[in-house]
Each structure stands twice: as structure tokens, then as C-alpha cells.
Amino acid sequence: MVTGGRQPIQGNPYFDIAYEMGKIFAKNKYQLLTGIAKGVDENFAREAYEAVSNNGEDIRDYLKAYTGKNQRPHHTYWKILVSKFRKREEGIPELVEECDLIFLLSGAKNTSYIGVLSLLENKIVLPLSVTGGAASDLYSLILNRYDKVYGNLLPKSKFQNLADIGRTPIEMAEVCFDLVKIISGHS
């Protein structure tokens, strides 16, 4: 799952990072999940849609999201399922249940909630500290307790790449893709 902030922050490339992540993960045919909001969700889904569509495939085979009952999603680049919960805040457990690994970019309250809930559910949470906001806070939390959170699952030096402000959005997407390969044992 890739999700996070909705409001652009001047000088912060997190929408561009989300866009590049959509491209690299879709081209490699990963099963993807995101939210239905403007911002990170939209940018990630739009590029995933474009990458898959350029190959003549249906994005609904790769990317899905949940929307609350009686709510309209901001964009429809993916398969959108109506949540069994009434509103997004109640639906977050459903989103977390569906995924194995979560990338968080920037964000505020909901992003923090998703991150903490995911950690409690023993999911792999990879917050991109370079994007600021709740992602940066969660990154610091995980880094401070790294051995207890991830131990031998992921080399700490690789995790710390999520805080490297000297990388372009394309390079950050590649860092994220490399982390997935390491975690899944395909490095």
C-alpha cells in the first residue's frame, strides 16, 4: 500500500515520489493498494494506471482501493470496492488487513493512524522521512526502536535511505522498490 498526504507542500516532492512509485511498482506487476484521496493516493494511482494501460492491461487487475459507504472517491484510476465500514477512519483497519507492506509519504493524523495500526498488526511500515509530516515522525519512531521493530528483516542502512534528502523522486522510488525486493528475498 502507498498512501499519505493530501496537501502539497512547496518544495516537497512527495507527490512526484508517489507518481514515480506508481510507475515502478506497476511496471513490475505488483498488487497495489492505495486510498481514494487527492495527493499521494491520486499521484500514485495515476502513474500506475498509465504504466499498466500502456501495456494494454487493465489496472483493476493490479490496483484497488476502498471507499466508504455513500462516499465518492476523488479519482477512479483503479478498482474501487465499497468498504464494509461507514467511513474512511473506520475503514483503515480493512486497508491495513489487505496489505503486507505500507509506504507512507508525508501526511498527518490519518497517516499516523495507519502507520501505528500497521505496526501493531505486524505489518512492514516504510515511512519516507524525506517527505516530512507524519511519515517523518513514524520514521523516527521506528529508527529509535529499529532492532525491536525489524531486527534482521532489513539492514538498518537500507532503511535509512528513506531519509536521504539528496535523492530525486525517481531515485526515491528506486530505493522503495529495492526495499521491497530485499524484504521479499529477491535482491
Selection from 31, 8, 20 nearest residue 176 by Cα = 20
Continuous segment of H or E residues that includes residue 137 = helix 133-144
Task: Give backbone dihedrals phi and psi of 68, rounded to 5 degrees, phi first.
Answer: -70, 160
Q: Are 125 and 119 in contact (CB under 8 A)?
A: yes
pLDDT tier at 11 (50, 70, 90 boundaries)?
low
Question: For the segment 26-50, what is each residue's pLDDT rounded down to a tens digit?
Answer: 999 999 998 888 889 989 999 999 9
CA distances in angstroms from 30 to 24, 62, 115, 175, listed in the order given: 9, 7, 21, 16
pLDDT of residue 89: 63
Q: pTM of this prediction?
A: 0.91
Measure CA 106 to chain center: 10
Domains of the chain: 2-183 (3.40.50.450)
Question: For the segment 84-136, what is each residue's pLDDT rounded down to a tens digit?
Answer: 776 656 667 778 888 999 999 999 988 999 999 999 999 999 999 999 999 99
pLDDT of residue 90: 61
Looking at residue 162, the DSSP 8-state letter turns out to be G
Q: What is the dihedral of CA 100, 47, 63, 7, to 10 degrees?
A: 70
Interatomic CA distance for residues 98 and 63, integer angstroms: 12
pLDDT tier at 182 (50, 70, 90 boundaries)?
very high
Interatomic CA distance for residues 4 and 11, integer angstroms: 17
